[in-house]
Structure 1
Amino acid sequence: MNDSYTPGKHLLLTLQVEDVLLLTTIDSFLEFTKQQIDLNNLHSVGIVTHAFEGGGFTAAVCLMESHICIHTWPEFGQLTLDIYLCNYLKDNSEKVIRLGECFKDYFHAVVMNETVVNR
């Protein structure tokens, strides 16, 4: 058994966002996410989305490496974001943190809660 192996890093974010348009514009979010997937040499295997009446949205981006999921609440100016990358072929831990920073920048967000789980 290899005691040094860790299955991956999981980042859970709750963000406060002032620009409500960012919490209602799913197409812009998906375009940005696809760019980040490409820049980080990740591999998308499917995307499921739903736009809620009133403007919020949810999206699950399934990756060969695991997933990126979001749920927005424009009425509260908040979102939750879940980024998990597995380490099957290589350690993707730094990519998880880098992606988290990129999404914080994209949303011009204030971090309300940030939890990192090393699996």
Structure 2
Amino acid sequence: MKGLHLTADLYRCRCEPAWLTDAAKLGEWCLSAVHAAGLQPVDQLFHTFAGAGKGPGGVTATVLLAESHVCLHTWAEERAVTCDVYVCNFSGDHSARARGLMEALVDRFQPEWTEQRSLDRGEEN
């Protein structure tokens, strides 16, 4: 079960507001980014949440990959996003593809700053 798990917390995103509130738009772009990274989507779910008293609702965008998953959660009222990219390296090393996808995700939202983490998962066989 060797794999790579990448996370990024994005703050004060300077992107167009629609990237934080429009599930269909964000989902379509996520699928394109997954393909561009050389990963294989197998299913997806994109959902826009109703706004609360603080502003418009955010989005959860999840793409299941043959290699594992990518998941985004936006907080439109805070202009913040969390990104999660996980690839298992069972059939080959997909680490570079995962890193490329994460870079594209961060670039899409144009955050003022990020907190990124990388975790190697599982054991070497």
TM-score under structure 2 length normalisation: 0.83
Aligned residue for 1:75, secondary structure, equals helix
**Letter of the structure 2 residue corresponding to residue 12 of structure 1:** T
Match of 1:107 among 103, 109, 112: 109
Is the contact between residue 7 and residue 86 of structure 1 (CA under 8 Å) also seen in structure 2? yes
CA RMSD of aligned residues (A): 1.5
> Which residue matches 1:21?
18
Query: Which residue is equivalent to 1:38?
Result: 35
Q: Secondary structure at the match of 1:9?
A: strand
What's the counterpart of residue 8 of structure 1? 3
Residue of structure 1 in register with 2:54 after alignment: none
Distance in 2 (alpha carbons) for counterparts of 1:112 and 1:37: 21
Paired with 2:113 and 2:5, the residues of 1 have a C-alpha distance of 16
Q: How many residues align?
A: 114
Match of 2:62 among 57, 60, 63: 60
For structure 1, which runs of at least 5 residues remain unmatched after alignment?
A: 1-5
Q: Which runs of 5+ in 2 are unaligned?
A: 52-56
Higher deviation after alignment, 72-81 or 33-42: 33-42
Task: Kindly indicate whether residue 79 of structure 2 is the aligned counterpart of residue 77 of structure 1.
Answer: yes
Q: Specify the code of the residue in structure 2 equivalent to 1:18.
A: R
% identity of equivalent residues: 33
CA contact (8 A) 1:104 1:110 kept: no
